[in-house]
């Protein structure tokens, strides 16, 4: 039987995702202490009340350095990850930070250097890995059932209603850097030790740019891996506001020398149509009358509990800290490489030229 260590957790950032993480941590049997902080003290207090956290603060360092806290979940907006992550590593706390690790390669490199200096434990929340269909695909690929991967084709769609939430929070949280990043993560997970070496990409402007955002409606990229495998990744978050998806619609196809693996992630298999309106889990005050259930990326509330990829991921990370069991969460080095790839896609679109990726390119971009 594994030993169970009791742990104290601080959640920094009490927004949509931080609130879910805090609820999950509060319900985990190994968690004996919970603290919450947010730049907005009322939001931190409200979440602390709901989760019975013992401390709430507008000062991140107060909860991070609290002597009862062993582990810190950083769920702040994308451009606000670096400072609390560095504080937590300096205090010797284990860290789970939301994706992307940072928005600039320089920040990601600072985090990696701090992690190495502190010999700490940091993972990045790419919760798509914990969606059952992607997890089972990983197992089949690992068992060699598709043979050697020679190509991957994947695309991800979402609505304008959600993209405006992301871009209003942070103009750098584009569909490429903030969402296609999940597929770059899966690519690295399914094809490890085979880095992306070249990126060509094109974007087409449309309704999102017409609304005043610096963001294309459609981005399509072709990536070449070190061994010559070819990957085609596409993203569009310009679907009509009331398209029935409550999150991502995806497709991921793995082409191997001995098999193919097709992941249909469009969620067309569970349809609800109602005259009562279905609230969007991520977009406030947004309802649809027809919804693909199961399309919410983090998961869903049911019977008073939260279920789905974000729940499985949070529990796996807490189990890892409590028992020492390995967990499948993304490492800091993987997350930094991922950021280099998504920034290269944006760079290729902006310059109209292919980008060669190498350690030298990554440091030059930093
Ligand atoms: N894994 C998933 O399924 C998933 C889904 C959506 C978003 N995310 C990621 O989660 C993170 C948060 O997204 P969200 O949708 O919860 O955003 P949000 O805007 O709902 O919440 C962010 C919170 O951070 C707080 N904040 C901002 N700067 C802060 C600082 N310096 N110190 C303390 N608090 C600060 C804000 O006040 C806000 O309450 C992002 O990195 C996003 O990419 C993950």
* pLDDT tens by residue, 36-80: 999 999 999 999 999 999 999 999 999 999 999 999 999 999 999
**At 235, which CATH number?**
3.30.360.10
Confidence at residue 1, expressed as pLDDT on a 0 to 100 scale: 65
**CB-ligand 1 contact for 196 (6 Å cutoff):** no
Confidence at residue 282, expressed as pLDDT on a 0 to 100 scale: 86
**CB-ligand 1 contact for 74 (6 Å cutoff):** no
Alpha carbon of 9 to ligand 1 centroid (Å): 17
**At 41, which CATH number?**
3.40.50.720
**CB-ligand 1 contact for 185 (6 Å cutoff):** no
Nearest to 249 by CA among 183, 287, 295: 295
**CB-ligand 1 contact for 178 (6 Å cutoff):** yes
**CB-ligand 1 contact for 203 (6 Å cutoff):** no
Token code pair at residue 242:
């009331």
**CB-ligand 1 contact for 165 (6 Å cutoff):** no
Confidence at residue 3, expressed as pLDDT on a 0 to 100 scale: 79
Alpha carbon of 84 to ligand 1 centroid (Å): 13
Alpha carbon of 165 to ligand 1 centroid (Å): 11
| 85-98: b (≥16 Cβ within 10 Å) or e | bbbbbebebbbbbb
User: What is the residue with the minimal CA distance to atom 5 of ligand 1?
Assistant: 298
Residue 363 lies in a domain: no
**CB-ligand 1 contact for 131 (6 Å cutoff):** no
**CB-ligand 1 contact for 299 (6 Å cutoff):** no
Residue 307 lies in a domain: no
| Residues 85, 103 within the same domain | yes
Which residues span the domain enclosing 146?
A: 129-297+340-348
User: What is the residue with the minimal CA distance to atom 1 of ligand 1?
Assistant: 127
**CB-ligand 1 contact for 75 (6 Å cutoff):** yes
Q: Which residues contact 21 (CB under 8 A, 6 or more apart)?
A: 11, 73, 75, 96, 310, 314
Question: Chain-centre distance of CA 175, in angstroms?
Answer: 12
Residue 2 lies in a domain: no
Residue 362 lies in a domain: no
Q: Mind listing the pLDDT tens digit of every residue in the chain (366 residues)?
A: 667 899 999 999 999 999 999 999 999 999 999 999 999 999 999 999 999 999 999 999 999 999 999 999 999 999 999 999 999 999 999 999 999 999 999 999 999 999 999 999 999 999 999 999 999 999 999 999 999 999 999 999 999 999 999 999 888 889 999 999 999 999 999 999 999 999 999 999 999 999 999 999 999 999 999 999 999 999 999 999 999 999 999 999 999 999 999 999 999 999 999 999 999 888 989 999 999 999 999 999 999 999 999 999 999 999 999 999 999 999 999 999 999 999 999 999 999 999 999 854 444 444
Alpha carbon of 363 to ligand 1 centroid (Å): 27
Alpha carbon of 352 to ligand 1 centroid (Å): 32
Question: CB of 126 within 8 A of CB of 182?
Answer: yes
| Residues 179, 47 within the same domain | no
Residue 364 lies in a domain: no
Residue 366 lies in a domain: no
> Which element (helix H / strand E) includes 152?
strand 149-159
Alpha-carbon torsion (260, 263, 266, 272), positive or negative: positive
Residue 46 lies in a domain: yes
| Residues 177, 148 within the same domain | yes
- Rounded-to-integer distance, Cα 354 and Cα 256, Å: 25
Confidence at residue 2, expressed as pLDDT on a 0 to 100 scale: 67
Confidence at residue 281, expressed as pLDDT on a 0 to 100 scale: 83
Confidence at residue 365, expressed as pLDDT on a 0 to 100 scale: 45
pLDDT digit string, tens, across residues 95-126: 999 999 999 999 999 999 999 999 999 999 99
| Residues 187, 218 within the same domain | yes
Three-state SS string over 265-301 comes to ECCCCCEEEEEEEEECCCCCCCEEEEEECCCCCCCEE
Residue 146 lies in a domain: yes
| Residues 197, 77 within the same domain | no
| Residues 215, 344 within the same domain | yes
| Residues 274, 323 within the same domain | no
| Residues 175, 256 within the same domain | yes
**CB-ligand 1 contact for 77 (6 Å cutoff):** yes
- What is the pTM assigned to this prediction? 0.96
**CB-ligand 1 contact for 12 (6 Å cutoff):** yes
**CB-ligand 1 contact for 56 (6 Å cutoff):** no
- Rounded-to-integer distance, Cα 202 and Cα 351, Å: 10
Q: Which of 14, 15, 126, 176 to mutate to test the pocket of ligand 1 (most atoms within 8 A of CB)?
A: 15
Number of structural domains the chain divides into: 2
| Residues 344, 272 within the same domain | yes
| Residues 148, 290 within the same domain | yes
| Residues 156, 291 within the same domain | yes
| Residues 159, 172 within the same domain | yes
């Amino acid at each position: 039987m594994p030993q169970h260590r009791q742990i104290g957790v601080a959640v920094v950032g009490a927004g949509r995702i931080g609130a879910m993480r805090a609820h999950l941590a509060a319900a985990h049997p190994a968690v004996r202490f919970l603290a919450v902080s947010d730049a907005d003290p009322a939001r931190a207090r409200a979440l602390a009340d709901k989760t019975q956290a013992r401390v709430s603060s507008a000062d991140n360092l107060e909860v991070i350095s609290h002597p009862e806290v062993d582990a810190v979940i950083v769920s702040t907006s994308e451009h606000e990850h670096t400072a609390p992550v560095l504080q937590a590593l300096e205090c010797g706390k284990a860290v789970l930070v939301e994706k992307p690790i940072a928005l600039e390669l320089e920040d990601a490199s600072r985090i990696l250097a701090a992690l190495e200096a502190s010999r700490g434990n940091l993972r990045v929340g790419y919760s798509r890995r914990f969606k059952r269909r992607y997890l089972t695909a990983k197992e089949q690929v690992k068992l060699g059932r598709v043979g050697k991967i020679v190509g991957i084709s994947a695309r991800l769609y979402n609505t304008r209603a959600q993209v405006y939430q992301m871009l209003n929070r942070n103009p750098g949280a584009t569909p490429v850097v903030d969402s296609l990043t999940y597929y770059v993560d899966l690519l690295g997970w399914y094809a490890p030790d085979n880095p992306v070496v070249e990126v060509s990409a094109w974007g087409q402007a449309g309704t999102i740019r017409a609304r005043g955002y610096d963001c294309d409606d459609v981005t399509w990229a072709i990536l070449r891996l070190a061994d010559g495998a070819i990957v085609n990744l596409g993203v569009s978050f310009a679907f009509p506001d009331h398209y029935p998806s409550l999150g991502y619609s995806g497709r991921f196809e793995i082409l191997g020398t001995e098999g193919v693996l097709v992941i249909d992630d469009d969620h067309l298999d569970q349809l609800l149509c109602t005259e009562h309106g279905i609230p969007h889990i991520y977009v406030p005050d947004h309802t649809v009358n027809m919804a693909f259930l199961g399309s919410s990326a983090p998961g869903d509330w049911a019977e008073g509990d939260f279920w789905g990829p974000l729940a499985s991921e949070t529990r796996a990370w807490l189990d890892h800290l409590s028992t020492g069991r390995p967990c499948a969460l993304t490492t800091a080095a993987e997350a930094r490489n991922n950021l280099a790839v998504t920034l290269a896609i944006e760079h290729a679109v902006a310059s109209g030229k292919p980008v060669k990726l190498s350690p030298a390119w990554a440091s030059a971009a930093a």
